[in-house]
Chains A and B, each alone.
Chain A
Amino acid sequence: AQTVTQSQPEMSVQEAETVTLSCTYDTSESDYYLFWYKQPPSRQMILVIRQEAYKQQNATENRFSVNFQKAAKSFSLKISDSQLGDAAMYFCAYRSRSGYALNFGKGTSLLVTP
């Protein structure tokens, strides 16, 4: 079974600064998908960004970008120009090419200070 590890239980960033959240995973598959989800206190999981393993180019969505290192099995999320609304739990997730279910890490709580 694939395991997803988020080694930072909590992170803090000042408004307008940049923060990087770490994620590593373990898999024997060569083709898969990786995701970052945001879960605010309302509990609704919101997709932030996704990466397909066969694509070498790192995904970018506005202020959010990833650093995907396939050989190292690392998938970090960079948030630029942090905003107060970015405060939430962030979950890294893995999905097999052949399956649909997401395998989540334990999450990182992001605090944004004014």
Chain B
Amino acid sequence: EAGVAQSPRYKIIEKRQSVAFWCNPISGHATLYWYQQILGQGPKLLIQFQNNGVVDDSQLPKDRFSAERLKGVDSTLKIQPAKLEDSAVYLCASSLEAPLGQQFFGPGTRLTVL
């Protein structure tokens, strides 16, 4: 079974530039998550999708971050404009729509904002 795919693995940008990350979840997984992991901390949920719809985006900085999940499969997370404090690893995870649906994580994208 293929795992969660993410691209790119690394990205370096200047502040105020824009960047986009892509995630392809495990086939059949209805729930998709984006987490932000700042160096030295645990991952923090940014947004959660259930199929096409947003379940929780309470911690997403909506003035600069946006995310979409078209057709309930792939998802894109965008930052525009980027700030220095956005430097982090962005992890995508997916799970089945079950009460104890185990979350499977992708390898993450390491973003460096200069």
A47 with B40: in contact, given A100-B31, A101-B33, A102-B45 (CB under 8 Å)?
no
Q: A-facing mask of B90-114, CB < 8 A → 1, else 0?
A: 0101010001111101111010000
A-B pairs under 8 A by CB, number: 51
A101 with B45: in contact, given A42-B107, A43-B107 (CB under 8 Å)?
yes
A43 with B56: in contact, given A104-B42, A106-B40 (CB under 8 Å)?
no
Q: B-facing mask of A28-52, CB < 8 A → 1, else 0?
A: 0000010000000011111100101
Q: B-facing mask of A41-74, CB < 8 A → 1, else 0?
A: 0111111001010000000000000000000000
Residue in B45, B56, B100, B110 whose beta carbon sits within 8 Å of that of A52 in the complex: B100
A43 with B43: in contact, given A101-B48, A102-B103 (CB under 8 Å)?
no
Q: How far is the CA of A18 from the CA of B31 in the complex (A)?
A: 36
Number of interface residues of A (CB under 8 A): 22
Q: B-facing mask of A1-43, CB < 8 A → 1, else 0?
A: 0001000000000000000000000000000010000000011
Assess whether B100 is in contact with A104, with CB atoms less than 8 Å apart.
no
Number of interface residues of B (CB under 8 A): 25
The majority secondary structure among interface residues of chain A is: loop
- 8 interchain residue pairs of minimum CB distance: A104-B42, A45-B105, A101-B45, A43-B108, A44-B107, A91-B42, A104-B43, A106-B42
Identify 22 residue pairs between A and B in the complex whose beta-carbon atoms are under 8 Å apart, listed by A's number: A33-B100, A42-B107, A43-B89, A43-B91, A44-B105, A45-B43, A45-B93, A45-B105, A46-B105, A47-B103, A52-B100, A91-B42, A97-B99, A100-B31, A100-B55, A100-B101, A101-B56, A102-B45, A104-B42, A106-B41, A106-B42, A107-B41
